[in-house]
Amino acid sequence: MHPSESQPLKRYFQRFRILIIGRANAGKTTILQRVCQTRDNPEIYNRAGKKIDVSVLAASRERGLHDIENEMVFRTNPGFVFHDSRGFEAGGQSEFDKVKAFIASRFKERAVKHRIHAIWYCIPMDEDGRSFMEAEVKFFSQCDTGSIPVIVLFTKFDALYDDIYAELISKGISRSDAQALAPQHAREAFANGPQLTLLYSRNGNQHPPKCHICLPDMDKDDADCTPLIECTAETLDNEMLKQLFVSTQRTNLDVCIRHAVERTLVQEAVSAQTVLSRIFGKFEDSKILDALDVWFPRYLEVRLSIIPAGVLT
Ligand SMILES: Nc1nc2c(ncn2[C@@H]2O[C@H](COP(=O)(O)OP(=O)(O)OP(=O)(O)O)[C@@H](O)[C@H]2O)c(=O)[nH]1
Ligand SMILES: [Mg+2]
């Protein structure tokens, strides 16, 4: 199918729906705020689309936020709809069953817009979360998510830096060097560590995730969630969902450009000359223009603020 033919379908999907799972305090809300470039709290809607007044929820606020059926939407990017699940602590069979049933029911939805398009499974790396807990093992061995890609987010990855830093100091490395080297050493040690082996092991782990990423310092103002955006885009094998995701996210224009070039220009065998003409606004093949545009942010004000003048006019 020609990429531009997916335009009406993209409009039909409208919003990209993500289920985020992770135990209490795992850093879920922080990540969603980063992705939507805000510090504000999300608005909550019930399944029928009715806005829930969080102040009225007061006593049951926690339940409102973590009721998996409720939709969380940030004003700064209404193109994303999130479902938040605190997951299930060890032994929490009914919570696990609830998550499993939710995933199964959304998988069966006839309308694509009601389906879950991706799952972000958070595993925090701070004190009590360094090893896989029973809940994670249970999820990856028993929860069949069908074609919905699961991406594991090792959140609070910076929590591993202190031990590595101490190790480097004990080897006689200076404090400043140890501080600079700790993040890279932590990534290397983690890449060869037992958690990843267990995560992708097929031995008893029937439904391993599609990929994983390590996310440090997401609570900082300059937090970069690009790896999460790239990894999620890569795991989507449905072309239209990929377009929807890439054009909904607003944190990284490079991802839009790369996909536009790789998926559209390369597929269409468009020459470098054409790309240049496009950039300088002299390109008039509307078929290719439409095909390119599906990868870029859909909202005019975002286009104006992040896309250089002339690129998409
Ligand atoms: N060090 C560090 N702290 C983080 C990071 N991400 C989030 N935090 C902190 O962790 C705490 C919990 O973050 P939240 O985003 O509220 O976690 P949550 O999973 O939404 O928690 P619940 O909604 O209670 O289940 C907050 O104090 C954050 O500032 C990170 O990458 N590194
Ligand atoms: Mg939260």
pLDDT in tens, 96-120: 888 999 999 998 888 888 899 999 9
Last residue of a domain, one of 176, 206, 240: 240
**Predicted local distance difference test score (pLDDT) of residue 39:** 93
The answer to whether position 8 is within a domain reads: no
Kindly report the pTM of this predicted structure.
Answer: 0.85
What is the distance in A from the centroid of ligand 1 to the CA of 219? 7
Its domain, for residue 290, covers: 252-313
Q: Which residues contact residue 87 at a Cβ distance below 8 angstroms, ignoring those fewer than 6 apart?
A: 21, 22, 23, 26, 95, 99, 135, 139
The answer to whether position 229 is within a domain reads: yes
**Predicted local distance difference test score (pLDDT) of residue 304:** 45
Considering the domain architecture, whether residues 222 and 272 belong to the same structural domain is answered as: no
Last residue of a domain, one of 206, 240, 274: 240
Considering the domain architecture, whether residues 283 and 306 belong to the same structural domain is answered as: yes
Considering the domain architecture, whether residues 128 and 263 belong to the same structural domain is answered as: no
Q: Which of 25, 89, 128, 160 to mutate to test the pocket of ligand 1 (most atoms within 8 A of CB)?
A: 25
Considering the domain architecture, whether residues 143 and 281 belong to the same structural domain is answered as: no
The answer to whether position 294 is within a domain reads: yes
Q: Is 266 exposed, middle or buried (0-12, 13-18, 19+ CB in 10 A)?
A: exposed
Give me 151's structure tokens.
């991406």
**Predicted local distance difference test score (pLDDT) of residue 1:** 39
What is the distance in A from the centroid of ligand 1 to the CA of 220? 11
Number of domains in the chain: 2
Residue nearest to atom 17 of ligand 1 (CA): 27
Write the CATH number for 167.
3.40.50.300
Considering the domain architecture, whether residues 156 and 36 belong to the same structural domain is answered as: yes
Cα separation values, 76 from 18, 40, 65, Å: 16, 9, 18
- How many C-beta atoms lie closer than 10 Å to residue 30's C-beta? 18
Residue nearest to atom 13 of ligand 1 (CA): 27
Q: Residue holding tokens 């992708």?
A: 200
Considering the domain architecture, whether residues 224 and 260 belong to the same structural domain is answered as: no
Q: Could you say which residues of the chain have pLDDT below 70?
A: 1-13, 56-65, 88-92, 127-131, 204, 265-289, 298-313
Give me 283's structure tokens.
């390109």
The answer to whether position 164 is within a domain reads: yes
Considering the domain architecture, whether residues 152 and 199 belong to the same structural domain is answered as: yes
What is the distance in A from the centroid of ligand 1 to the CA of 144? 27
Q: What is the dihedral of CA 140, 146, 151, 152, to 10 degrees?
A: -10
Q: Are 225 and 200 in contact, with CB atoms under 8 Å apart?
A: no
Last residue of a domain, one of 199, 220, 240: 240
**Predicted local distance difference test score (pLDDT) of residue 128:** 63
The answer to whether position 6 is within a domain reads: no
What is the distance in A from the centroid of ligand 2 to the CA of 270? 45
Angstrom distance (rounded) from CA 168 to CA 172: 7
Residue nearest to atom 14 of ligand 1 (CA): 27
* Ramachandran assignment for 92, one of left (phi > 0), alpha (psi -120 to 50 degrees), beta (any other): beta
Q: Quick one: which atom of ligand 1 is closest to the CA of 159?
A: 1
**Predicted local distance difference test score (pLDDT) of residue 89:** 65
The answer to whether position 247 is within a domain reads: no
The answer to whether position 7 is within a domain reads: no
Q: Which of 19, 28, 30, 63 to mutate to test the pocket of ligand 1 (most atoms within 8 A of CB)?
A: 30
The binding-site residues of ligand 1, defined as CB within 6 angstroms of any ligand atom, are 22, 24-30, 86, 155-156, 158-159, 215-219
DSSP 3-state percent helix, strand, coil across the chain (nearest 5): 50, 10, 40
Edge-to-edge strand list for the sheet holding 16-21? 51-52, 43-45, 71-73, 80-85, 16-21, 118-124, 150-155, 211-215
Considering the domain architecture, whether residues 219 and 130 belong to the same structural domain is answered as: yes
Considering the domain architecture, whether residues 127 and 223 belong to the same structural domain is answered as: yes
For residue 157, the ligand closest to its alpha carbon is 1
**Predicted local distance difference test score (pLDDT) of residue 274:** 62
Q: Which residues contact residue 232 at a Cβ distance below 8 angstroms, ignoring those fewer than 6 apart?
A: 118, 120, 149, 151, 245
Angstrom distance (rounded) from CA 231 to CA 142: 24
What is the distance in A from the centroid of ligand 2 to the CA of 59? 16
Q: Quick one: which atom of ligand 1 is closest to the CA of 157?
A: 31
Angstrom distance (rounded) from CA 85 to CA 106: 14
The answer to whether position 304 is within a domain reads: yes
What is the distance in A from the centroid of ligand 1 to the CA of 300? 32
Give me 215's structure tokens.
């996310």
